[in-house]
């Protein structure tokens, strides 16, 4: 058999670098910064790359650059079937202002529409972290609808000139490609929240009218976003949260502390700072994780007190309880988050992880599957995969646990917990050589890792926890 040539060989060295960085999720600005280019130059290079490779979306580019699938983690994902309930994907609104610094503004418009749509239990909404992977690409709406398994796609643009803002939005039938609804909104920047609420209500009402549903009852809540500057700071911090690096988290902490200095009662800023501290702790970005865990808990409690209807605040509270052994409080908080927003994939996924920690494997799997289905391109999906690995491990299905742990490691090599489940599962199957290989792979990326780190996300059952601990020692962890 003749070996298939490397199609990326037609790209220049710089084009290969830009293509790889963009496919891995970097923005135009990030690529421009580390290659010392203008963002417009990066955009021009990407247009050339798309033409040379014959691709039309970031997803296609990522698949083209990926090596031939040799493991379960590398296998392509089949396009999902459309759910029975009306389904929609909201693409990132295009920033037409010509100022990359305003990117967070157009992203915020899209994010708020997604949040409001997600509050309806009658709609199936693809989460922002999946739809935003198409950002900056020239996409075919029908192809996007097929790839994400939805009936409708919402796209739009934001143009900011001085203190005036113009937002356009259009709803497209993903099957026919025809326009279902479109509208243009003009307003003053000082009235940006009212403008966003108007857009959101009209978008949701139009979608629900189209699918014969009742009109949304509540406007988008703004109790935690009374000041635009605070909103800008929190929007930037959301971007940094999904970088999963110590540097990004340090930057986010600075931004959020500034936001809280302006408005200490911002539920959004308190919640995001809680999430940053939580991820610093569980990712092991500080020598002593306890202070970060304590700070995350206090900030999340404060966020829920400031805005009890903010599902993300309850989600933050739920996940930061784990390392503090507050399992019952975690369960209540995550259930509250799901109740507030039936399409909050992060809450479903974290609830699934908690249920795995509690040993309720089948419930854990159900919740993780809901999270993955509604947010298949989530940058943090490795948490969902390791949650499934844990659930199967706790149920004694070690071979399946290995498959999901490998998927998690493939997405995030630095996620220690997936390595632990992988090594322990091999030990449970008496695959000692494979367990040793798993330990070596983990230590290659996390040289300081040890069994002591298991207690960042401890199991509730002391016998199960000790069993896992013993298996990790047998695998070769110190």
The CATH code of the domain that includes 283 is 1.25.40.10
From 210-224, 239-253, 311-325, the region with the lowest mean pLDDT: 210-224
Is residue 318 domain-resident?
A: yes
Determine, yes or no, domain membership for 425.
yes
Show which of 287, 320, 342 is a domain's final residue: 342
pLDDT (0 to 100) of residue 416: 93
Q: What is the token pair recorded at 138?
A: 């020239």
* 251 and 306 fall within a common domain: yes
pLDDT of residue 325: 94
Report the pLDDT value the prediction gives residue 411, as an integer from 0 to 100.
93
CATH of the domain at 189: 3.40.50.10610
21: domain CATH number? 1.10.10.10
Range of the domain at 36: 7-68
Same domain, 133 and 163: yes
3-state secondary structure labels for all residues of the chain: CCCCCCHHHHCCHHHHHHHHHHHCCCCHHHHHHHHCCCHHHHHHHHHHHHHHHCCCCHHHHHHHHCCCCCCHHHCCCCCCCCCCCCEEEECCCEECCCCHHHHHHHHHHHHHHHHHHHCCCCCEECCHHHHHHHCCCCCCHHHHHHHHCCCEEEEEEEEEECCEEEEEEEEEECCCCCEEEEEEEEEEHHHHHHHHHHHHHHHHHHHHHHCCCCCCCCCCCCCCCCCHHHHHHHHHHHHHHCCCCHHHHHHHHHHHHHHHHHCCCCHHHHHHHHHHHHHHHHCCCCCCCHHHHHHHHHHHHHHHHHCCCCHHHHHHHHHHCHHHCCHHHHHHHHHHHHHHCCCCHHHHHHHHHHHHHCCCHHHHHHHHHHHHHHCCCCCCHHHHHHHHHHHHHHCCCHHHHHHHHHHHHHHCCCCHHHHHHHHHHHHHCCCHHHHHHHHHHHHHHCCCCCHHHHHHCCCCCHHHHHHHHHHHHHHCCC
Asked if residue 82 is part of any domain, the answer here is no
Give Cβ neighbours of residue 338 (< 8 Å, ≥ 6 apart). 311, 344, 347, 348, 351
Same domain, 92 and 178: yes
Range of lowest pLDDT (107-116, 127-136, 201-210, 358-367): 201-210
Predicted confidence at residue 197, as pLDDT, reads: 67
Most confidently modeled range among 145-154, 235-244, 316-325: 316-325
pLDDT of 342 higher than 90: no
| Range of weakest confidence among 114-123, 196-205, 422-431 | 196-205
Q: Is residue 153 a part of any domain in this protein?
A: yes
Q: Tell whether 21 and 102 lie within a shared domain.
A: no
Asked whether residue 237 is assigned to any structural domain, the reply reads no
Count Cα atoms within 13 angstroms, Cβ side, for 100. 14
Instruction: Note whether 392 and 461 are same-domain residues.
Output: yes
167 and 63, same structural domain?
no
127 and 191 co-located in one domain: yes
Residue percentage of the chain with pLDDT more than 90: 40
Same domain membership, residue 194 and residue 296:
no
Does 304 map to a domain?
yes
Q: What is the pLDDT of residue 250?
A: 93
Residues 267-282 pLDDT 10s: 989 999 999 999 999 9
pLDDT value of position 235? 77
Whether residues 51 and 147 share a domain: the answer is no
Residues 291 and 407 in one domain: no
């Amino acid at each position: 058999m003749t070996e298939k040539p490397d199609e990326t060989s037609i790209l220049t060295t710089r084009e290969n670098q830009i293509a790889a960085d963009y496919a891995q999720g970097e923005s135009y600005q990030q690529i421009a910064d580390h290659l010392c280019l203008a963002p417009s130059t990066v955009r021009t290079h990407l247009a050339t790359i798309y033409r040379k490779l014959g691709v039309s979306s970031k997803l296609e580019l990522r698949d083209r650059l990926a090596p031939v699938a040799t493991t379960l983690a590398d296998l392509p994902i089949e396009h999902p079937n459309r759910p029975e309930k009306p389904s929609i994907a909201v693409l990132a609104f295009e920033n037409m202002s010509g100022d990359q610094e305003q990117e967070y503004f157009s992203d915020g418009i899209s994010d708020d529409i997604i949040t409001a749509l997600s509050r309806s239990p009658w709609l199936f909404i693809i989460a922002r972290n999946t739809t935003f992977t198409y950002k900056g690409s020239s996409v075919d709406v029908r192809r996007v609808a097929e790839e994400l398994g939805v009936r409708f796609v919402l796209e739009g643009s934001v143009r900011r000139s001085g203190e005036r803002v113009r937002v356009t939005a259009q709803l497209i039938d993903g099957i026919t490609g025809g326009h279902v609804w479109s509208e243009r909104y003009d307003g003053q920047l000082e009235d940006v929240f009212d403008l966003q609420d108007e857009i959101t209500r009209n978008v949701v009402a139009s979608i629900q009218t189209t699918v014969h549903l009742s009109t949304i009852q509540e406007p988008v809540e703004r109790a935690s976003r009374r000041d635009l500057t605070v909103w800008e700071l929190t929007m930037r911090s959301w971007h940094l949260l999904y970088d999963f690096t110590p540097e990004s988290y340090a930057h986010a902490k600075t931004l959020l502390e500034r936001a809280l200095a302006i408005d200490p009662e911002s539920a959004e800023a308190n919640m995001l700072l809680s999430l940053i501290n939580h991820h610093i702790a569980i990712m092991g970005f500080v020598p002593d994780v306890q202070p970060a865990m304590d700070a995350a808990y206090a900030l999340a409690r404060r966020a829920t007190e400031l805005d009890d209807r903010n599902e993300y605040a309850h989600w933050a509270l739920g996940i930061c309880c784990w390392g503090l052994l507050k399992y019952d409080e975690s369960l209540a908080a995550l259930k509250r988050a799901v109740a507030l927003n039936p399409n909050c994939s992060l809450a479903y996924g974290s609830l699934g992880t908690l249920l795995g920690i509690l040993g309720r494997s089948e419930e854990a799997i159900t919740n993780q599957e809901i999270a993955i289905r509604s947010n298949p391109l989530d940058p943090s999906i490795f948490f969902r995969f390791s949650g499934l690995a844990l659930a199967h491990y706790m149920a004694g299905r070690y071979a399946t646990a290995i498959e999901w742990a490998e998927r998690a490691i493939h997405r995030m090599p630095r996620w220690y917990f997936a390595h632990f489940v992988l090594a322990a599962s091999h030990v449970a199957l008496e695959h000692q050589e494979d367990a040793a290989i798993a330990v070596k792979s983990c230590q290659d990326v996390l040289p300081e890792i040890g069994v002591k780190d298991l207690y960042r996300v401890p199991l509730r059952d002391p016998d199960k926890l000790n069993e896992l601990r013993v298996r990790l020692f047998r695998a070769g962890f110190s």
